[in-house]
Chains A and B, each alone.
Chain A
Amino acid sequence: MMPAWFRRLPFPTPLKHLAGSTWLMAGRLLAMGSIAGFGLAVFVGALSAIDSALDSRDIWYAQGHLADLELRVAADDVENFPALRNVPGVADLRLRMVYPGALERVESGQGGARREVGVRVLAIATARDSDSTINTQQLVSGKPLDAQDPEGVVIERSLARYHDVGVGDRLNVKLGKERIDLHVRGIVSDAEFLLAPANPSLFVPSKGSLGVIYLQPAVLSKRFGFMPANSALFRLKTDADPHSVRTDIIELAQTRLNVDHTLARDEQFSHQFLEKDLGMFRIVVPVIVMVSALSAVFVTSFLFLQWVAGERKTMAVFLALGHPPSRLAASFAAMFLYLAGGVVLGGLAFSMMVGQGFLQNFSEAIGLPMPVLALSPAYIGWGMAGVLAVFALAGGIALSRVFGLTPRDAMRDDVARTRRPDRLGSLLGRLLPTSWLRIAVRSLFRHRVVSLVSIVAVALGFGINAAFFIAFSSFVGTSVKRVEANQWDAAVDFVAPVWKEDVERLVSDNGIEDYAEYTKGVAQVIGTMAQGGRRTNLYVAGFDPDKPWHVVAMTAGQPLSAKQENGILLEQSTARELGVGVNDTLTVEVQGQRAVVRIRGLFSGAMPGEAHFTLAMHRRLADLDERATGLFVRGHGDLDTLDNSLRQHPDVQQMLTRDQVSREILSASGQVTEIIRLGAMISLAIAALFVFACVGYTVLQRRREYQMLRLLGYSDSVVVAIIVVEIALLGAAAMLLAAPIGAVAAEYLNQKLSQAWFQIDTIISASDYLKTFLPGFILLPLVALPVARTVLRVPLEQDLRTREIS
């Protein structure tokens, strides 16, 4: 009953009536609003979260004054560095030494407890007093570096986070051949190490595998006998052409230094990893949104039509009273608009939760600081437009019925009551032994369109969800499969290039039966004059073609061959970017030496810029004759013993077995699984709401039939069972349809991800389906319970009195 104050409001009577009628279908409208709101929330929340992560990264870059360009050279006396600041286009310069070492022991500053750590670290010291602000760290806790306290260091936050090192702790660090004692003055964050510092030189850059320690320059100069530097950080003038400045810097540096490589900000490992990882979600999110949007279109249309049908008699009365159809239509349109407004407000509120949840999981997954979520006005705008479009479409269909109403409709009966099961439904019903099963099947067939659309909508939701799990499992599975396809048992990375005789000694001392050396480094592709001489970094690994133990997914051409020393394999996206293919040549430069190489084949790699050279070619170019940066080991029975032994070896940075690599990949994937699970929960909720809104409505329409069953002596539990079975059957049919949808959608997602990242093989497993279907099987029948309760809530004698029984 409409309250008196409401009736006094200065709105047209039909509008006030419709407003009041919303209470009668509040549950269904809420379900409909939730579906549309979820879609809006995922669209605005997830995409804004992705943008926020990138925006926060840029803000951190700006706060940390991250360099525009880094020049890496062989460590040299700072006095030998040419006047790089004078290169046209350079606004600022900082020289520093980045020195690899190992944190061996930590002694707690609190209780004095000692523990062995064994973490590889980068010890970084500014090479020369400078007022440059490039790559400045933000103090998180404790105190900054102080020249009066030369043994005091500050550590990057990930060392504190992943290795439990705190202010006041004493560190025993191995630098070169020396072990030195340092103490932690403070903890800082550094824009250069936004991701949990991973060591990209290792085969698997696992989270926290590398710590960062900032030292006083004196600590290094004392040990070298001079102040060494191997890294020059540049800030470029805003109007400078970065490519020509880069070329000028390299050319000047080469006059005095052994140039290793240059890295622009957007070429850094962490920058690229973030882009790739977020890019994956940019592909996945629109698919979730599309499913939500489709569901929302159907549910909204269905409910609006129900609403108009339900109000048909009253509207006919209003027509009879002289209200023109346009006024009735305007009243409905106004209500639709209010509902759309409610959906937008609710959706935006929920989008904050979606965005926060996404960022929380994502940042934890990759060790990123928590970004600040800002909902993007553009996404809000597009999202609102989408909601309005859905409501306009559904409302338009419903309003067309309003214009078709006449005063005579006040006397017509509800069409739905006349629905009967079709022949197939009747036939199936006769085949079934029990009435609760038979009635449920017949009910589904009585509302074929509603049932079919519900099945399709639920199948789409579940199928797409299963596709996410399949796609992600395929992503992880492909990575693991690639690792397992390798013919080495373990990969051993060295601290620095190791000489042949030392490798031979290491191998014989540790009982290694067979091994293959490899080299790693950076080369630069020198672009043609037409390309402006642009340089592109290649992350080169040199492998012995006669020992092809490291397997790659070839997409074109031939593998490495000893017969063609300058034949290389190139990562496919890099080849696309360079506009080259199999048999094309490239001019590459390594430490100032140029050579022409020919592309023998293309492969799918995890990171852009990967290239495989023959070992001989890379050794020659990189001045690594008789040296290796690592080796593959094969045929050593006890890998744990070997690992323990090599861990003590001064030349060994890390040994990883194939199983360890697989475990690292799976471990790193845990948090991303959580994000997909969050998406799964949303899809499940949408499916449940869909069933509630659509199937629930048809059940309620058959309320008088259920009352008849009760009158005939069916217990309440049997009536509930009939409703539960109907929804469960619908769910089962949806799952059957969802299975192929999931497979096809997963294949589509994998193709998209393969284009954006690396070649992913679709791996379909029952467990991925069960992750979605199992909760669906449990949850969907539960939707029947509130519907059944509504049916059973009405006392039987009341319906008997009103003859609401059929």
Chain B
Amino acid sequence: MNKATLVLCCMSLISLPVSAATAPDAMALMKQVDQGNRPTFEKVTMKMEVRGSGDPLVRDLTWHFTNAPAKRTSLLKFNSPANVQGSGTLVVEQQGEDNAIWHYQPSTRNVRRISSQHRQNRFMGTDFVFEDFEGLKLDKYRFSLLRKESCGNAGGSCEVVEAVATDKSEKAGSSYSKKLFWVDADKHVITRTELYDTDGKLAKTYESSGFRKLGSHWRPQVQEMRTADGSHSTRLTEVDRSLDQPFDAYYVSQQYLRSD
């Protein structure tokens, strides 16, 4: 079942509540999470802070999402500062086809197609890699319920789901050997993700917090990806978000991607 969804990485920057109240199995739970991320239009403006040993790098970005029955598209574009202004990434997930990712760098004026092997490359000096921008890829993973525990800072009770790639090329192209999702049992959103490297060691942790409901959708206001040793992190803070307000298809096109 090739219903890949496009969200900000598998950690689901956008999440939707689901109506199911009974305890689902792992795949059904993840489907509900996936289905929750399908508003026809979504636009979000964010502040990105990359924290390391020196002063944090602060950037502004805008993200456009569209969802059609068989196709999901997202385009992230940096607005400021000048050094990254115009840089962007376009992800297209078409049913029955491999995901396509393009990255545009104004400094070299080059649109680069990110091959499946290169999805594990670091994104723009942040703690994200390109594969983090892809959907859950339900058909390429085996999901297992491990336990139920507190969602931590996000509050509430969470199901802990383990995801291991079963698809050969996914396994070969991913920088992760497994992922653990903390799925809020009520809101059906992912509040925390642990990402394990190919040696099975914890590499990074992703957390979402400050969930609020926009129409029928739950959305986090703050998300943060942290390295396992805590030495480096990237925090995304929502500035503005609109859902189901139509915009021109240009904003999720190659033309917009390469526009300065």
Q: Mark A494-508, 1 if CB is under 8 A from B, else 0.
A: 011111010000000
Give the contacting residue for B118; candidates A222, A225, A256; CB below 8 A.
Answer: A256
Contact in complex: B105, A75 (CB < 8 Å):
yes
**A13 CB within 8 Å of chain B:** no
CA distance A225 to B118 in the complex (A): 19
* Size of the chain B interface, CB-CB below 8 angstroms: 27
Give the contacting residue for B110; candidates A74, A80, A651; CB below 8 A.
Answer: A74
- Of the listed stretches A172-180, A534-542, A674-682, chain B binds A172-180
- Give the Cβ gap from A178 to chain B, nearest Cβ, in Å: 6
CA distance A498 to B106 in the complex (A): 12
- Give the Cβ gap from A592 to chain B, nearest Cβ, in Å: 7
The SS class assigned to the A binding surface is mixed
- Give the Cβ gap from B108 to chain A, nearest Cβ, in Å: 5
Chain B residues with CB under 8 Å of A430's CB are none
CA distance A156 to B105 in the complex (A): 27
Contact in complex: A177, B59 (CB < 8 Å):
no
B48-65: which residues lie under 8 A (CB-CB) from chain A? 50, 57, 59
Chain B residues with CB under 8 Å of A258's CB are 112, 115, 118
CA distance A255 to B173 in the complex (A): 9
Give the residue among B106, B107, B110, B115 with the most A Cβ atoms within 10 A: B107
Chain A residues with CB under 8 Å of B82's CB are 177-178
B76-117: which residues lie under 8 A (CB-CB) from chain A? 82-86, 105-110, 112-113, 115, 117
Q: Mark B238-250, 1 if CB is under 8 A from A, else 0.
A: 0000000000000
Chain B residues with CB under 8 Å of A558's CB are none
**A257 CB within 8 Å of chain B:** yes
CB-CB nearest in chain A for B59: A225
Contact in complex: B107, A255 (CB < 8 Å):
no
Q: Mark A246-261, 1 if CB is under 8 A from B, else 0.
A: 0000000011111000
Chain A residues with CB under 8 Å of B115's CB are 258, 592
A74-B112, A176-B107, A256-B117 known; A80+B260 contact, CB < 8 A: no
CA distance A258 to B57 in the complex (A): 26
Chain A residues with CB under 8 Å of B120's CB are 256
The SS class assigned to the B binding surface is loop
Give the contacting residue for A225; candidates B83, B109, B110, B260; CB below 8 A.
Answer: B83
**A422 CB within 8 Å of chain B:** no
- Give the Cβ gap from B248 to chain A, nearest Cβ, in Å: 16
Contact in complex: A225, B112 (CB < 8 Å):
no
CA distance A175 to B105 in the complex (A): 13
**A76 CB within 8 Å of chain B:** yes
Give the contacting residue for A177; candidates B112, B113, B117, B260; CB below 8 A.
Answer: B260
- Give the Cβ gap from B59 to chain A, nearest Cβ, in Å: 7
Chain B residues with CB under 8 Å of A230's CB are 108
**B214 CB within 8 Å of chain A:** no
A74-B112, A99-B107, A177-B260 known; A224+B83 contact, CB < 8 A: yes
**B231 CB within 8 Å of chain A:** no
CA distance A223 to B105 in the complex (A): 12
Contact in complex: A77, B125 (CB < 8 Å):
yes
Give the residue among B86, B109, B112, B260 with the most A Cβ atoms within 10 A: B109
Give the contacting residue for A75; candidates B57, B83, B86, B107; CB below 8 A.
Answer: B107
**B121 CB within 8 Å of chain A:** yes
A178-B82, A178-B83, A223-B83 known; A257+B118 contact, CB < 8 A: yes
CB-CB nearest in chain B for A499: B258
Chain A residues with CB under 8 Å of B108's CB are 74-75, 176, 230, 496
Contact in complex: B118, A226 (CB < 8 Å):
no
Give the contacting residue for A623; candidates B107, B113, B117, B118; CB below 8 A.
Answer: B113
- Give the Cβ gap from A630 to chain B, nearest Cβ, in Å: 14
Contact in complex: A255, B117 (CB < 8 Å):
yes
**A79 CB within 8 Å of chain B:** yes
Chain B residues with CB under 8 Å of A224's CB are 83-84, 107, 125
- Give the Cβ gap from B229 to chain A, nearest Cβ, in Å: 15
Contact in complex: A77, B122 (CB < 8 Å):
yes
Top 7 nearest A-B pairs by Cβ distance? A226-B125, A496-B109, A176-B107, A80-B121, A223-B83, A225-B125, A79-B122
Subset of 20 A-B contacts with CB under 8 Å:
A75-B105, A75-B108, A76-B121, A79-B122, A80-B118, A80-B121, A80-B122, A177-B106, A224-B83, A224-B107, A225-B124, A228-B107, A230-B108, A256-B117, A256-B121, A496-B109, A499-B255, A592-B115, A623-B113, A651-B109
> What is the interface of chain A, defined by CB distance below 8 A to chain B?
74-77, 79-80, 99, 175-178, 222-228, 230, 254-258, 495-499, 501, 592, 623, 651
